[in-house]
Chains A and B, each alone.
Chain A
Amino acid sequence: MPLSTSSNFARPDDAFRAVVEAHRGLSEAESADLDAALVLVLANHIGDIEVLREAIALAKRRMLDADQQQQQQQQ
Protein backbone atom coordinates (compact mmCIF):
# COMPACT_ATOMS: atom_id res chain seq x y z
CA MET A 1 0.00 0.00 0.00
CA PRO A 2 1.55 3.32 -1.00
CA LEU A 3 1.70 6.29 1.34
CA SER A 4 -1.68 7.97 1.50
CA THR A 5 -1.47 11.75 1.04
CA SER A 6 -5.15 12.36 0.51
CA SER A 7 -6.89 13.98 3.46
CA ASN A 8 -7.79 11.19 5.88
CA PHE A 9 -9.25 13.14 8.80
CA ALA A 10 -12.86 14.28 8.72
CA ARG A 11 -11.71 17.32 10.65
CA PRO A 12 -8.07 17.95 9.71
CA ASP A 13 -7.89 21.07 11.91
CA ASP A 14 -8.57 18.93 14.97
CA ALA A 15 -5.61 16.69 14.14
CA PHE A 16 -3.27 19.61 13.54
CA ARG A 17 -4.51 21.25 16.72
CA ALA A 18 -3.98 18.09 18.76
CA VAL A 19 -0.32 17.97 17.78
CA VAL A 20 0.18 21.71 18.33
CA GLU A 21 -1.40 21.54 21.76
CA ALA A 22 0.70 18.57 22.75
CA HIS A 23 3.74 20.82 22.39
CA ARG A 24 2.29 23.73 24.38
CA GLY A 25 4.44 24.70 27.32
CA LEU A 26 7.31 22.43 26.35
CA SER A 27 10.89 23.57 25.95
CA GLU A 28 12.63 23.00 22.60
CA ALA A 29 14.30 19.89 23.98
CA GLU A 30 11.08 18.53 25.48
CA SER A 31 9.30 19.18 22.18
CA ALA A 32 11.98 17.29 20.31
CA ASP A 33 11.63 14.38 22.79
CA LEU A 34 7.88 14.35 22.26
CA ASP A 35 8.27 14.34 18.49
CA ALA A 36 10.76 11.48 18.62
CA ALA A 37 8.42 9.33 20.70
CA LEU A 38 5.40 10.29 18.60
CA VAL A 39 7.16 9.39 15.35
CA LEU A 40 8.07 5.94 16.69
CA VAL A 41 4.57 5.27 18.04
CA LEU A 42 2.94 6.27 14.76
CA ALA A 43 5.54 4.45 12.63
CA ASN A 44 4.82 1.25 14.52
CA HIS A 45 1.08 1.76 14.11
CA ILE A 46 1.56 2.02 10.34
CA GLY A 47 3.74 -1.08 10.49
CA ASP A 48 4.81 -0.94 6.85
CA ILE A 49 8.48 -0.17 6.18
CA GLU A 50 7.82 0.99 2.61
CA VAL A 51 5.16 3.46 3.72
CA LEU A 52 7.52 4.70 6.43
CA ARG A 53 10.32 5.20 3.90
CA GLU A 54 7.99 7.09 1.58
CA ALA A 55 6.84 9.25 4.45
CA ILE A 56 10.44 10.03 5.40
CA ALA A 57 11.28 10.85 1.80
CA LEU A 58 8.28 13.16 1.48
CA ALA A 59 8.98 14.94 4.77
CA LYS A 60 12.64 15.36 3.87
CA ARG A 61 11.91 16.68 0.39
CA ARG A 62 9.43 19.26 1.65
CA MET A 63 11.75 20.26 4.47
CA LEU A 64 14.59 20.94 2.01
CA ASP A 65 12.25 22.81 -0.35
CA ALA A 66 10.92 24.88 2.53
CA ASP A 67 14.47 25.79 3.57
CA GLN A 68 15.32 26.91 0.05
CA GLN A 69 12.18 29.02 -0.26
CA GLN A 70 12.98 30.70 3.00
CA GLN A 71 16.52 31.47 1.87
CA GLN A 72 15.25 32.91 -1.43
CA GLN A 73 12.81 35.15 0.40
CA GLN A 74 15.60 36.45 2.61
CA GLN A 75 17.81 37.34 -0.36
Chain B
Amino acid sequence: MPHSKVQFGYRRHPDQDRPAATPAEHAVVVVGAGPVGLSLAIDLAQRGQKVVLLDDADRIGEGSRAICFSKRALEYWDRLGVADRMVEKGVVWSVGRIFHGASLLYQFNLLPEEGHKRPAFINLQQYYAEAYLVDRIAQLPDVDLRWRNKVSALERRNDYVALTIDTPEGPYKLHAQYLIACDGARSSLRQMVGAEFSGQVFEDQFLIADVKMTAAFPTERWFWFDPPFHAGRSALLHKQPDDVWRIDLQLSPDADPAVEKKPENVAPRIARMLGHENFDFEWISLYKFQCRRMDRFLHGRVIFAGDSAHQVSPFGARGANSGLEDAENIAWKLDRVLRGTSPESLLETYDTERSAAADENIRESTRATDFMAPVTSQEARLRKAVLSLARETEFGKRMVNGGRLSLPSVYETPLSTADTDNWRGGPRPGTSMPDAPVSDRTGNPMFLTEAFMRKGTRFTLLTFGNGKVVDAPEGLGTIRVGGEDGLIDASGLAGQRYDAEGGATYLLRPDGYVAARFRHPTRPAIEAALARACGLN
Protein backbone atom coordinates (compact mmCIF):
# COMPACT_ATOMS: atom_id res chain seq x y z
CA MET B 1 0.00 0.00 0.00
CA PRO B 2 1.89 3.08 -1.17
CA HIS B 3 1.92 6.44 0.63
CA SER B 4 0.26 5.26 3.81
CA LYS B 5 1.44 3.41 6.87
CA VAL B 6 -0.28 0.15 7.65
CA GLN B 7 1.70 -1.02 10.66
CA PHE B 8 1.68 1.01 13.85
CA GLY B 9 3.71 0.65 16.99
CA TYR B 10 2.37 0.24 20.47
CA ARG B 11 3.49 3.17 22.61
CA ARG B 12 3.26 3.45 26.35
CA HIS B 13 0.94 6.22 27.53
CA PRO B 14 1.30 8.13 30.81
CA ASP B 15 -2.20 6.93 31.74
CA GLN B 16 -0.62 3.52 32.26
CA ASP B 17 1.62 4.84 35.04
CA ARG B 18 -1.20 6.07 37.21
CA PRO B 19 -2.09 4.19 40.39
CA ALA B 20 -5.03 1.83 39.87
CA ALA B 21 -7.07 3.68 42.49
CA THR B 22 -6.99 6.98 40.57
CA PRO B 23 -7.18 6.15 36.86
CA ALA B 24 -7.15 8.84 34.19
CA GLU B 25 -10.55 10.26 33.34
CA HIS B 26 -11.57 10.99 29.75
CA ALA B 27 -14.71 12.48 28.27
CA VAL B 28 -14.95 10.11 25.31
CA VAL B 29 -13.31 6.79 24.64
CA VAL B 30 -13.96 5.18 21.23
CA VAL B 31 -13.16 1.50 20.84
CA GLY B 32 -12.25 0.15 17.40
CA ALA B 33 -10.17 1.92 14.75
CA GLY B 34 -12.21 0.79 11.75
CA PRO B 35 -13.90 3.22 9.36
CA VAL B 36 -16.63 4.04 11.89
CA GLY B 37 -14.46 4.55 14.98
CA LEU B 38 -11.84 6.53 13.06
CA SER B 39 -14.44 8.81 11.45
CA LEU B 40 -16.25 9.36 14.74
CA ALA B 41 -12.99 10.28 16.49
CA ILE B 42 -12.16 12.81 13.76
CA ASP B 43 -15.65 14.32 13.87
CA LEU B 44 -15.60 14.71 17.66
CA ALA B 45 -12.10 16.19 17.58
CA GLN B 46 -13.12 18.69 14.89
CA ARG B 47 -15.95 19.71 17.20
CA GLY B 48 -13.39 20.39 19.93
CA GLN B 49 -13.64 17.20 21.98
CA LYS B 50 -10.64 15.23 23.15
CA VAL B 51 -10.98 11.58 22.16
CA VAL B 52 -9.12 8.45 23.20
CA LEU B 53 -9.33 5.84 20.42
CA LEU B 54 -8.38 2.27 21.36
CA ASP B 55 -7.68 -0.60 19.00
CA ASP B 56 -6.60 -4.11 19.93
CA ALA B 57 -4.48 -4.59 16.80
CA ASP B 58 -1.43 -2.70 15.60
CA ARG B 59 -2.16 -2.70 11.93
CA ILE B 60 -4.87 -2.00 9.41
CA GLY B 61 -6.99 -5.05 8.68
CA GLU B 62 -6.28 -7.23 5.67
CA GLY B 63 -8.56 -7.74 2.72
CA SER B 64 -10.57 -5.20 0.78
CA ARG B 65 -13.75 -5.94 2.82
CA ALA B 66 -16.16 -2.98 2.56
CA ILE B 67 -15.45 -1.59 -0.88
CA CYS B 68 -18.47 0.53 -1.83
CA PHE B 69 -18.67 3.94 -0.20
CA SER B 70 -21.81 5.94 -0.84
CA LYS B 71 -22.33 9.56 -1.77
CA ARG B 72 -23.58 10.20 1.74
CA ALA B 73 -20.43 8.67 3.23
CA LEU B 74 -18.28 10.80 0.91
CA GLU B 75 -20.15 13.95 1.91
CA TYR B 76 -19.45 13.06 5.54
CA TRP B 77 -15.79 12.39 4.77
CA ASP B 78 -15.68 15.74 3.00
CA ARG B 79 -16.53 17.38 6.30
CA LEU B 80 -13.82 15.29 7.98
CA GLY B 81 -11.25 16.44 5.42
CA VAL B 82 -10.56 13.07 3.80
CA ALA B 83 -12.98 12.73 0.87
CA ASP B 84 -10.71 14.22 -1.81
CA ARG B 85 -8.11 11.56 -1.21
CA MET B 86 -10.71 8.80 -1.14
CA VAL B 87 -12.30 9.92 -4.41
CA GLU B 88 -8.94 10.48 -6.10
CA LYS B 89 -7.88 6.92 -5.31
CA GLY B 90 -11.30 5.29 -5.62
CA VAL B 91 -13.12 4.00 -8.66
CA VAL B 92 -16.14 6.22 -9.32
CA TRP B 93 -19.31 4.50 -10.51
CA SER B 94 -23.04 5.02 -10.75
CA VAL B 95 -24.29 2.38 -13.20
CA GLY B 96 -25.31 -1.15 -12.29
CA ARG B 97 -26.22 -3.91 -14.75
CA ILE B 98 -28.16 -7.04 -13.98
CA PHE B 99 -27.83 -10.12 -16.16
CA HIS B 100 -29.88 -13.30 -16.28
CA GLY B 101 -27.94 -16.11 -17.86
CA ALA B 102 -25.88 -14.51 -20.62
CA SER B 103 -28.24 -11.64 -21.39
CA LEU B 104 -28.70 -8.18 -19.88
CA LEU B 105 -31.99 -7.79 -17.98
CA TYR B 106 -31.70 -4.14 -17.14
CA GLN B 107 -29.41 -1.38 -15.95
CA PHE B 108 -29.82 1.42 -13.46
CA ASN B 109 -28.06 4.73 -12.83
CA LEU B 110 -27.81 5.69 -9.16
CA LEU B 111 -27.07 9.34 -9.86
CA PRO B 112 -28.57 10.28 -13.22
CA GLU B 113 -28.48 14.05 -12.60
CA GLU B 114 -25.67 16.60 -12.74
CA GLY B 115 -24.63 19.11 -10.13
CA HIS B 116 -23.48 17.05 -7.17
CA LYS B 117 -20.02 17.37 -5.69
CA ARG B 118 -19.73 13.65 -4.95
CA PRO B 119 -20.54 10.65 -7.13
CA ALA B 120 -23.14 7.98 -6.31
CA PHE B 121 -20.42 5.58 -5.17
CA ILE B 122 -16.74 4.97 -5.14
CA ASN B 123 -15.12 1.59 -4.77
CA LEU B 124 -12.12 1.66 -2.51
CA GLN B 125 -10.50 -1.09 -0.51
CA GLN B 126 -11.34 -0.64 3.16
CA TYR B 127 -7.62 -0.64 4.01
CA TYR B 128 -7.10 2.51 1.95
CA ALA B 129 -10.05 4.22 3.61
CA GLU B 130 -8.71 3.31 7.04
CA ALA B 131 -5.17 4.39 6.17
CA TYR B 132 -6.38 7.82 4.98
CA LEU B 133 -8.45 8.25 8.13
CA VAL B 134 -5.44 7.34 10.28
CA ASP B 135 -3.36 9.89 8.35
CA ARG B 136 -6.00 12.53 9.08
CA ILE B 137 -5.95 11.65 12.77
CA ALA B 138 -2.21 12.29 12.80
CA GLN B 139 -3.08 15.95 12.07
CA LEU B 140 -5.46 16.15 15.04
CA PRO B 141 -3.73 16.43 18.40
CA ASP B 142 -7.08 15.93 20.16
CA VAL B 143 -7.30 12.31 19.03
CA ASP B 144 -5.15 9.98 21.11
CA LEU B 145 -4.97 6.75 19.07
CA ARG B 146 -3.61 3.84 21.11
CA TRP B 147 -2.76 0.63 19.23
CA ARG B 148 -2.68 -2.75 20.96
CA ASN B 149 -4.99 -1.47 23.68
CA LYS B 150 -7.66 -4.09 24.22
CA VAL B 151 -10.60 -3.49 26.54
CA SER B 152 -10.79 -6.58 28.76
CA ALA B 153 -13.42 -5.44 31.25
CA LEU B 154 -15.91 -2.67 31.74
CA GLU B 155 -18.03 -1.63 34.68
CA ARG B 156 -20.94 0.71 34.21
CA ARG B 157 -21.29 3.35 36.94
CA ASN B 158 -23.84 6.15 37.20
CA ASP B 159 -21.71 8.90 35.73
CA TYR B 160 -18.85 7.06 34.04
CA VAL B 161 -17.65 3.75 32.62
CA ALA B 162 -14.63 2.08 34.23
CA LEU B 163 -12.42 0.27 31.74
CA THR B 164 -9.65 -2.26 32.15
CA ILE B 165 -7.33 -2.24 29.15
CA ASP B 166 -4.77 -4.89 28.29
CA THR B 167 -1.52 -3.86 26.59
CA PRO B 168 1.73 -5.66 25.75
CA GLU B 169 3.04 -4.17 29.02
CA GLY B 170 0.13 -5.31 31.13
CA PRO B 171 -3.25 -3.87 32.03
CA TYR B 172 -4.26 -0.37 33.12
CA LYS B 173 -7.48 1.37 34.01
CA LEU B 174 -9.38 4.33 32.53
CA HIS B 175 -12.59 6.14 33.27
CA ALA B 176 -14.73 7.43 30.42
CA GLN B 177 -17.78 9.64 30.62
CA TYR B 178 -18.96 8.01 27.40
CA LEU B 179 -17.73 4.88 25.69
CA ILE B 180 -18.52 4.40 21.99
CA ALA B 181 -18.22 0.79 20.87
CA CYS B 182 -17.21 0.62 17.21
CA ASP B 183 -15.58 -2.78 17.63
CA GLY B 184 -17.32 -4.61 14.81
CA ALA B 185 -19.71 -7.50 14.33
CA ARG B 186 -17.96 -9.67 16.89
CA SER B 187 -17.94 -6.81 19.42
CA SER B 188 -16.52 -7.86 22.75
CA LEU B 189 -18.01 -4.73 24.36
CA ARG B 190 -21.46 -5.94 23.34
CA GLN B 191 -20.79 -9.15 25.23
CA MET B 192 -19.50 -7.18 28.22
CA VAL B 193 -22.77 -5.24 28.54
CA GLY B 194 -24.64 -8.53 28.12
CA ALA B 195 -26.69 -7.40 25.12
CA GLU B 196 -28.44 -9.77 22.73
CA PHE B 197 -27.56 -9.72 19.04
CA SER B 198 -30.26 -11.70 17.33
CA GLY B 199 -31.58 -11.99 13.80
CA GLN B 200 -31.51 -14.14 10.71
CA VAL B 201 -28.67 -16.33 9.50
CA PHE B 202 -28.63 -17.20 5.80
CA GLU B 203 -27.56 -20.70 4.92
CA ASP B 204 -26.03 -20.01 1.52
CA GLN B 205 -22.31 -19.42 1.48
CA PHE B 206 -20.61 -16.77 -0.59
CA LEU B 207 -17.08 -16.69 -1.86
CA ILE B 208 -15.31 -13.35 -2.19
CA ALA B 209 -12.21 -13.20 -4.31
CA ASP B 210 -10.14 -10.13 -5.06
CA VAL B 211 -8.45 -10.76 -8.35
CA LYS B 212 -5.59 -8.76 -9.81
CA MET B 213 -5.76 -8.43 -13.59
CA THR B 214 -6.01 -5.91 -16.37
CA ALA B 215 -9.43 -6.07 -17.96
CA ALA B 216 -11.58 -3.88 -20.13
CA PHE B 217 -14.82 -4.29 -18.18
CA PRO B 218 -16.45 -0.91 -17.58
CA THR B 219 -16.48 0.60 -14.10
CA GLU B 220 -19.97 -0.62 -13.32
CA ARG B 221 -21.55 -3.03 -10.86
CA TRP B 222 -22.38 -6.23 -12.74
CA PHE B 223 -24.66 -8.77 -11.17
CA TRP B 224 -25.69 -12.12 -12.65
CA PHE B 225 -28.49 -14.50 -11.85
CA ASP B 226 -27.67 -17.96 -13.12
CA PRO B 227 -24.64 -16.93 -15.20
CA PRO B 228 -23.28 -19.34 -17.82
CA PHE B 229 -20.01 -19.57 -15.87
CA HIS B 230 -21.68 -20.37 -12.54
CA ALA B 231 -24.92 -22.21 -13.29
CA GLY B 232 -27.84 -21.93 -10.93
CA ARG B 233 -26.27 -19.36 -8.62
CA SER B 234 -25.47 -15.65 -8.54
CA ALA B 235 -22.29 -13.66 -9.14
CA LEU B 236 -21.12 -10.08 -8.73
CA LEU B 237 -18.24 -8.22 -10.37
CA HIS B 238 -16.91 -4.88 -9.18
CA LYS B 239 -13.82 -2.86 -9.97
CA GLN B 240 -11.47 -1.60 -7.29
CA PRO B 241 -8.36 0.59 -7.59
CA ASP B 242 -4.97 -0.94 -8.55
CA ASP B 243 -6.50 -3.28 -11.20
CA VAL B 244 -8.14 -5.35 -8.51
CA TRP B 245 -11.57 -6.83 -9.20
CA ARG B 246 -14.01 -7.98 -6.56
CA ILE B 247 -15.75 -11.19 -7.53
CA ASP B 248 -18.52 -12.54 -5.37
CA LEU B 249 -19.83 -16.04 -6.06
CA GLN B 250 -22.75 -17.71 -4.36
CA LEU B 251 -21.98 -21.28 -3.27
CA SER B 252 -24.27 -24.06 -2.16
CA PRO B 253 -25.20 -24.18 1.53
CA ASP B 254 -23.34 -27.49 1.96
CA ALA B 255 -20.06 -26.37 0.33
CA ASP B 256 -17.04 -27.12 2.51
CA PRO B 257 -15.41 -23.78 3.41
CA ALA B 258 -11.91 -25.22 3.82
CA VAL B 259 -12.04 -26.87 0.39
CA GLU B 260 -13.78 -24.00 -1.42
CA LYS B 261 -11.31 -21.44 -0.13
CA LYS B 262 -8.24 -23.10 -1.62
CA PRO B 263 -6.87 -21.02 -4.50
CA GLU B 264 -6.58 -24.11 -6.71
CA ASN B 265 -10.35 -24.64 -6.31
CA VAL B 266 -11.30 -20.98 -6.70
CA ALA B 267 -9.16 -20.45 -9.81
CA PRO B 268 -11.19 -22.65 -12.21
CA ARG B 269 -14.43 -20.86 -11.24
CA ILE B 270 -12.88 -17.46 -11.91
CA ALA B 271 -11.30 -18.68 -15.13
CA ARG B 272 -14.72 -19.83 -16.35
CA MET B 273 -16.10 -16.39 -15.54
CA LEU B 274 -13.31 -14.42 -17.21
CA GLY B 275 -12.53 -16.81 -20.02
CA HIS B 276 -8.80 -16.73 -19.24
CA GLU B 277 -6.32 -17.50 -16.50
CA ASN B 278 -4.29 -14.28 -16.47
CA PHE B 279 -5.04 -13.24 -12.93
CA ASP B 280 -3.64 -13.47 -9.43
CA PHE B 281 -5.47 -13.66 -6.16
CA GLU B 282 -5.14 -10.80 -3.68
CA TRP B 283 -7.61 -12.08 -1.13
CA ILE B 284 -10.08 -14.95 -0.78
CA SER B 285 -12.73 -15.11 1.86
CA LEU B 286 -15.77 -17.32 2.42
CA TYR B 287 -18.71 -16.30 4.50
CA LYS B 288 -22.37 -16.63 5.43
CA PHE B 289 -24.60 -13.63 5.95
CA GLN B 290 -26.33 -12.56 9.06
CA CYS B 291 -28.88 -9.81 9.40
CA ARG B 292 -29.25 -8.85 13.04
CA ARG B 293 -29.20 -5.92 15.44
CA MET B 294 -29.09 -5.04 19.11
CA ASP B 295 -32.45 -4.11 20.64
CA ARG B 296 -30.96 -0.83 21.85
CA PHE B 297 -27.83 1.00 20.73
CA LEU B 298 -27.55 2.88 24.04
CA HIS B 299 -26.62 0.98 27.16
CA GLY B 300 -26.29 3.74 29.70
CA ARG B 301 -23.04 5.47 28.86
CA VAL B 302 -21.96 2.75 26.44
CA ILE B 303 -23.08 3.57 22.90
CA PHE B 304 -22.86 1.13 20.01
CA ALA B 305 -22.22 2.21 16.41
CA GLY B 306 -21.60 0.37 13.14
CA ASP B 307 -21.38 -3.41 12.87
CA SER B 308 -21.25 -3.83 16.65
CA ALA B 309 -24.85 -2.54 16.75
CA HIS B 310 -26.24 -3.96 13.52
CA GLN B 311 -25.12 -6.32 10.81
CA VAL B 312 -26.47 -6.73 7.29
CA SER B 313 -25.71 -8.83 4.24
CA PRO B 314 -23.36 -7.03 1.87
CA PHE B 315 -25.69 -6.76 -1.14
CA GLY B 316 -26.61 -3.08 -1.03
CA ALA B 317 -23.48 -1.54 0.50
CA ARG B 318 -25.31 -0.94 3.74
CA GLY B 319 -22.67 -2.07 6.24
CA ALA B 320 -19.87 0.47 6.40
CA ASN B 321 -22.09 3.22 4.94
CA SER B 322 -24.70 2.83 7.66
CA GLY B 323 -21.92 2.74 10.26
CA LEU B 324 -20.65 6.07 8.95
CA GLU B 325 -24.19 7.46 9.16
CA ASP B 326 -24.22 6.28 12.79
CA ALA B 327 -21.00 8.21 13.42
CA GLU B 328 -22.25 11.44 11.86
CA ASN B 329 -25.50 11.08 13.84
CA ILE B 330 -23.96 10.54 17.27
CA ALA B 331 -20.98 12.93 16.99
CA TRP B 332 -22.81 16.27 17.12
CA LYS B 333 -25.26 15.04 19.73
CA LEU B 334 -22.54 13.78 22.04
CA ASP B 335 -20.61 17.01 21.55
CA ARG B 336 -23.63 19.05 22.68
CA VAL B 337 -24.29 16.81 25.67
CA LEU B 338 -20.64 17.03 26.75
CA ARG B 339 -20.79 20.83 26.45
CA GLY B 340 -23.97 20.91 28.47
CA THR B 341 -25.87 22.73 25.69
CA SER B 342 -28.28 19.82 25.25
CA PRO B 343 -29.65 17.37 27.83
CA GLU B 344 -28.46 13.77 27.89
CA SER B 345 -31.85 12.75 26.49
CA LEU B 346 -30.68 14.05 23.09
CA LEU B 347 -28.67 10.83 22.83
CA GLU B 348 -31.93 8.87 22.88
CA THR B 349 -32.65 10.29 19.44
CA TYR B 350 -29.52 8.54 18.20
CA ASP B 351 -31.18 5.28 19.15
CA THR B 352 -34.53 6.35 17.63
CA GLU B 353 -33.07 7.55 14.34
CA ARG B 354 -30.41 4.94 13.80
CA SER B 355 -32.58 2.03 14.99
CA ALA B 356 -35.11 2.84 12.30
CA ALA B 357 -32.26 3.09 9.80
CA ALA B 358 -30.91 -0.30 10.93
CA ASP B 359 -34.36 -1.85 10.53
CA GLU B 360 -34.61 -0.48 7.02
CA ASN B 361 -31.14 -1.69 6.10
CA ILE B 362 -31.85 -5.13 7.51
CA ARG B 363 -35.19 -5.29 5.67
CA GLU B 364 -33.62 -4.27 2.36
CA SER B 365 -30.62 -6.54 2.59
CA THR B 366 -32.72 -9.47 3.80
CA ARG B 367 -35.03 -9.10 0.82
CA ALA B 368 -32.09 -8.96 -1.57
CA THR B 369 -30.49 -12.02 -0.03
CA ASP B 370 -33.77 -13.95 -0.05
CA PHE B 371 -34.19 -13.07 -3.72
CA MET B 372 -30.69 -14.35 -4.53
CA ALA B 373 -31.01 -17.48 -2.44
CA PRO B 374 -34.72 -18.44 -2.33
CA VAL B 375 -35.46 -20.64 0.66
CA THR B 376 -38.53 -22.59 -0.48
CA SER B 377 -39.42 -24.03 -3.86
CA GLN B 378 -42.34 -21.60 -4.17
CA GLU B 379 -40.01 -18.67 -3.47
CA ALA B 380 -37.73 -20.00 -6.20
CA ARG B 381 -40.76 -20.29 -8.52
CA LEU B 382 -41.79 -16.68 -7.89
CA ARG B 383 -38.25 -15.53 -8.53
CA LYS B 384 -38.16 -17.49 -11.77
CA ALA B 385 -41.39 -15.76 -12.78
CA VAL B 386 -39.95 -12.32 -12.01
CA LEU B 387 -36.75 -13.02 -13.94
CA SER B 388 -38.67 -14.26 -16.97
CA LEU B 389 -41.18 -11.39 -16.86
CA ALA B 390 -38.28 -8.94 -16.61
CA ARG B 391 -37.25 -9.79 -20.15
CA GLU B 392 -40.25 -8.00 -21.59
CA THR B 393 -41.88 -5.93 -18.84
CA GLU B 394 -40.72 -2.87 -17.00
CA PHE B 395 -42.42 -3.93 -13.77
CA GLY B 396 -40.55 -7.25 -13.86
CA LYS B 397 -37.20 -5.46 -14.22
CA ARG B 398 -37.99 -3.32 -11.19
CA MET B 399 -38.89 -6.39 -9.13
CA VAL B 400 -35.57 -8.12 -9.84
CA ASN B 401 -33.55 -7.65 -6.67
CA GLY B 402 -29.80 -7.85 -7.11
CA GLY B 403 -29.25 -5.59 -4.09
CA ARG B 404 -30.87 -2.22 -3.43
CA LEU B 405 -28.04 0.21 -2.88
CA SER B 406 -27.67 2.36 0.17
CA LEU B 407 -29.34 5.76 0.19
CA PRO B 408 -29.22 8.22 3.09
CA SER B 409 -31.74 7.35 5.78
CA VAL B 410 -34.82 9.50 6.28
CA TYR B 411 -35.69 10.09 9.93
CA GLU B 412 -39.10 10.24 11.56
CA THR B 413 -37.73 11.98 14.59
CA PRO B 414 -38.81 14.14 17.52
CA LEU B 415 -36.02 16.55 16.49
CA SER B 416 -37.92 17.56 13.34
CA THR B 417 -40.50 20.34 13.21
CA ALA B 418 -43.42 19.33 11.01
CA ASP B 419 -44.11 21.42 7.90
CA THR B 420 -46.85 24.01 8.23
CA ASP B 421 -46.36 25.61 4.80
CA ASN B 422 -47.13 24.08 1.44
CA TRP B 423 -44.21 22.42 -0.31
CA ARG B 424 -44.23 20.75 -3.69
CA GLY B 425 -40.73 19.37 -3.37
CA GLY B 426 -37.45 19.90 -1.61
CA PRO B 427 -36.11 17.89 1.33
CA ARG B 428 -38.72 17.46 4.03
CA PRO B 429 -37.62 17.57 7.68
CA GLY B 430 -35.71 14.41 8.58
CA THR B 431 -34.05 14.25 5.13
CA SER B 432 -30.38 14.90 4.40
CA MET B 433 -29.56 18.07 2.46
CA PRO B 434 -29.41 17.58 -1.32
CA ASP B 435 -26.35 18.98 -3.00
CA ALA B 436 -26.48 21.57 -5.79
CA PRO B 437 -23.99 23.65 -7.78
CA VAL B 438 -23.69 27.35 -6.92
CA SER B 439 -20.98 29.97 -7.18
CA ASP B 440 -19.74 32.63 -4.83
CA ARG B 441 -20.01 36.38 -5.52
CA THR B 442 -16.77 36.36 -7.50
CA GLY B 443 -18.04 33.56 -9.72
CA ASN B 444 -16.02 30.72 -8.26
CA PRO B 445 -18.01 27.50 -8.60
CA MET B 446 -18.76 25.56 -5.45
CA PHE B 447 -21.43 23.29 -4.01
CA LEU B 448 -24.07 23.74 -1.34
CA THR B 449 -22.52 20.95 0.72
CA GLU B 450 -19.27 22.94 0.69
CA ALA B 451 -21.05 26.10 1.81
CA PHE B 452 -22.48 24.10 4.73
CA MET B 453 -19.04 22.72 5.55
CA ARG B 454 -17.48 26.20 5.50
CA LYS B 455 -20.03 27.35 8.07
CA GLY B 456 -18.45 24.90 10.48
CA THR B 457 -20.85 21.97 10.25
CA ARG B 458 -23.17 23.40 12.90
CA PHE B 459 -26.83 24.39 12.97
CA THR B 460 -27.18 26.48 9.83
CA LEU B 461 -29.94 28.47 8.17
CA LEU B 462 -30.06 28.07 4.41
CA THR B 463 -32.14 30.86 2.88
CA PHE B 464 -33.21 31.30 -0.73
CA GLY B 465 -34.60 34.24 -2.58
CA ASN B 466 -34.83 37.97 -2.38
CA GLY B 467 -36.90 38.19 0.78
CA LYS B 468 -35.72 40.07 3.82
CA VAL B 469 -32.62 38.75 5.55
CA VAL B 470 -33.67 36.36 8.27
CA ASP B 471 -32.88 37.51 11.76
CA ALA B 472 -30.94 34.38 12.79
CA PRO B 473 -30.45 33.39 16.42
CA GLU B 474 -26.90 33.75 17.66
CA GLY B 475 -24.53 30.86 16.96
CA LEU B 476 -26.26 29.73 13.80
CA GLY B 477 -24.40 29.55 10.54
CA THR B 478 -26.15 31.27 7.64
CA ILE B 479 -26.03 30.48 3.95
CA ARG B 480 -27.87 32.67 1.54
CA VAL B 481 -28.61 31.72 -2.06
CA GLY B 482 -29.73 34.49 -4.40
CA GLY B 483 -30.42 38.08 -3.47
CA GLU B 484 -27.85 40.85 -3.56
CA ASP B 485 -25.12 39.22 -1.51
CA GLY B 486 -25.98 35.50 -1.64
CA LEU B 487 -24.44 32.60 -3.52
CA ILE B 488 -25.35 32.55 -7.20
CA ASP B 489 -27.63 29.77 -8.42
CA ALA B 490 -26.94 30.27 -12.12
CA SER B 491 -28.30 26.86 -13.19
CA GLY B 492 -31.38 27.19 -11.00
CA LEU B 493 -30.73 23.67 -9.68
CA ALA B 494 -30.37 24.73 -6.05
CA GLY B 495 -33.71 26.53 -6.16
CA GLN B 496 -35.34 23.54 -7.85
CA ARG B 497 -33.96 20.99 -5.46
CA TYR B 498 -35.16 23.03 -2.46
CA ASP B 499 -38.54 24.06 -3.95
CA ALA B 500 -37.48 27.65 -3.32
CA GLU B 501 -39.64 29.52 -5.80
CA GLY B 502 -41.98 30.85 -3.14
CA GLY B 503 -39.11 31.72 -0.79
CA ALA B 504 -37.55 29.09 1.43
CA THR B 505 -35.50 28.88 4.60
CA TYR B 506 -34.16 25.53 5.83
CA LEU B 507 -32.79 24.86 9.29
CA LEU B 508 -29.99 22.32 8.87
CA ARG B 509 -28.72 20.16 11.72
CA PRO B 510 -24.97 19.80 12.29
CA ASP B 511 -25.12 16.47 10.41
CA GLY B 512 -26.62 18.18 7.35
CA TYR B 513 -30.16 16.92 7.96
CA VAL B 514 -33.15 19.22 7.58
CA ALA B 515 -34.69 19.99 10.98
CA ALA B 516 -37.36 22.45 9.80
CA ARG B 517 -38.28 24.64 6.85
CA PHE B 518 -40.30 27.79 6.37
CA ARG B 519 -41.72 29.80 3.52
CA HIS B 520 -41.81 32.94 5.66
CA PRO B 521 -39.48 32.39 8.59
CA THR B 522 -39.92 34.32 11.82
CA ARG B 523 -37.41 34.55 14.62
CA PRO B 524 -39.70 32.79 17.15
CA ALA B 525 -40.45 29.94 14.70
CA ILE B 526 -36.75 29.42 14.03
CA GLU B 527 -35.94 29.50 17.73
CA ALA B 528 -38.64 26.96 18.51
CA ALA B 529 -37.43 24.63 15.75
CA LEU B 530 -33.84 25.02 16.92
CA ALA B 531 -34.76 24.24 20.52
CA ARG B 532 -36.64 21.15 19.37
CA ALA B 533 -33.72 20.00 17.21
CA CYS B 534 -31.38 20.41 20.20
CA GLY B 535 -33.61 18.20 22.34
CA LEU B 536 -34.50 21.15 24.59
CA ASN B 537 -38.22 20.53 24.87
Contacts and interface: CB of A to CB of B under 8 A. Distances in A.
Interface of A: 32-33, 36-37, 40-41, 44
Contacts of A40: 382, 385-386, 389, 396, 399
A33 B381 contact: yes
A12 to B, nearest CB: 26
B33 to A, nearest CB: 44
A32 B382 CA distance: 9
A13 B138 CA distance: 78
A33 B386 contact: no
Most B C-beta atoms less than 10 A away, residue of A33, A36, A40: A36
Interface of B: 378, 381-382, 384-386, 388-389, 393, 395-396, 399
The interface residues of chain B, by DSSP majority, are classed as helix
A28 B399 CA distance: 25
Given A37-B389, A40-B386, A41-B389, A32 B399 contact: no
A69 B148 CA distance: 68
Nearest to A33: B381
A37 B386 CA distance: 7
A41 B395 CA distance: 8
Nearest to B395: A44
Nearest to B399: A40
A37 B385 CA distance: 5
The 5 residue pairs across chains A and B that have the minimum distance between CB atoms: A37-B385, A36-B385, A44-B395, A36-B381, A36-B382
A41 B396 CA distance: 8
Contacts of B399: 40
A73 B381 CA distance: 32
A37 B388 contact: yes
Given A40-B399, A44-B395, A32 B381 contact: yes
5 contacts: A36-B385, A37-B388, A40-B389, A40-B396, A41-B393
Nearest to A44: B395
Contacts of A36: 378, 381-382, 384-385
Contacts of B386: 40
B106 to A, nearest CB: 15
B385 A33 contact: yes
A45 to B, nearest CB: 9
Contacts of B395: 44
Nearest to A45: B395
Contacts of B388: 37
Contacts of A32: 378, 381
B324 to A, nearest CB: 31
B376 to A, nearest CB: 12
A52 B389 CA distance: 19
